[in-house]
């Protein structure tokens, strides 16, 4: 699968780790991992396992996993081949992916392995682009989308919810099925400073020329529309402009503008 491949031909592999704490850099370890993998509209494959962390659990009050439950469970290195196979050729999906990827990278490094190199979609960033909610926590997004969730903070239940959430959000963002894998990765992350500067420079140049500029704009309902705008003022992260598509003055968010 290449980055230019159609998203809708791909499989999403939702990954969730339960851990002894929040920081792999401070010795925290994975104690449970789950993968839910499948294509849009199909019943996904689900897999999970507890993991022996070779240290006390420590955060039982969050996930309910005890030291006794982990006695005799496999070490990460023992399940790594299965995990790698389940992720291979798929798009990895996680809610707040940076957290799960940090533990995946750490556990692979401890085992003398290299973490799988796969495209990544972060449903936390995706929900921020698609939904106008006061909170984008996994529980809040699931409630908004009507996604049933079993035991919170257990890997399989969270991975199943994340997999369903990802497809629902992508369906809202791309009803015409045009997104590539690269597009989907870009959609779920915030533009960096350099990317925002490129957009800003183009908008200011068009304003100085008193000429319309054509943009793609993704509104709060995630529907991307191509439109011409005549820039009037740029105020921080907001752009005041006349929208030729709507025939009226509008305010646009800079981070939702893509140049054509």
Q: Which residues contact 67 (CB under 8 A, 6 or more apart)?
A: 56, 57
Phi-psi region of 88 (alpha: psi -120 to 50; beta: other; left: phi over 0): beta
First to last CA, the chain: 26
Annotated active-site positions, please? 153
In the block, which residue shows the tokens 């999403």? 12
Q: Tell me whether strands 248-253 and 238-243 are parallel, antiparallel or unpaired.
A: antiparallel
| Closest-CA residue to 17 (of 41, 3, 35, 2) | 35
| 6 three-class SS | strand
| 27 three-class SS | coil
């Amino acid at each position: 699968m290449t980055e230019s491949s159609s998203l809708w031909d791909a499989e999403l592999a939702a990954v969730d780790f339960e851990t002894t704490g929040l920081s792999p850099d401070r010795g925290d370890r994975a104690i449970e991992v789950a993968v839910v993998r499948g294509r849009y509209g199909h019943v996904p494959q689900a897999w999970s396992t507890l993991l022996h962390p070779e240290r006390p659990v420590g955060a039982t009050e969050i996930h309910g996993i005890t030291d006794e439950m982990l006695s005799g469970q496999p070490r990460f290195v023992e399940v790594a081949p299965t995990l790698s196979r389940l992720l291979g050729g798929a798009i990895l999906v996680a809610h707040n992916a940076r957290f799960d990827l940090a533990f995946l990278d750490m556990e692979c490094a401890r085992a003398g392995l290299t973490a799988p190199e796969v495209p990544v979609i972060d449903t936390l960033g995706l929900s921020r682009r698609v939904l106008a909610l006061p909170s984008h926590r996994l529980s809040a997004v699931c409630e908004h989308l009507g996604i049933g969730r079993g035991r919170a903070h257990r890997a399989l239940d969270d991975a199943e919810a994340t997999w369903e959430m990802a497809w629902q959000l992508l369906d809202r963002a791309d009803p015409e099925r045009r997104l590539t894998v690269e597009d989907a990765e870009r959609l779920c992350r915030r533009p960096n400073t350099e990317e925002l500067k490129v957009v800003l420079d183009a908008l200011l140049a068009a304003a100085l020329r008193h000429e319309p500029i054509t943009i793609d704009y993704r509104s709060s309902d995630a529907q991307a529309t191509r439109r011409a705008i005549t820039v009037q003022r740029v105020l921080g992260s907001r752009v005041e402009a006349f929208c030729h598509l709507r025939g009226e003055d509008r305010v646009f968010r800079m981070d939702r503008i893509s140049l054509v």
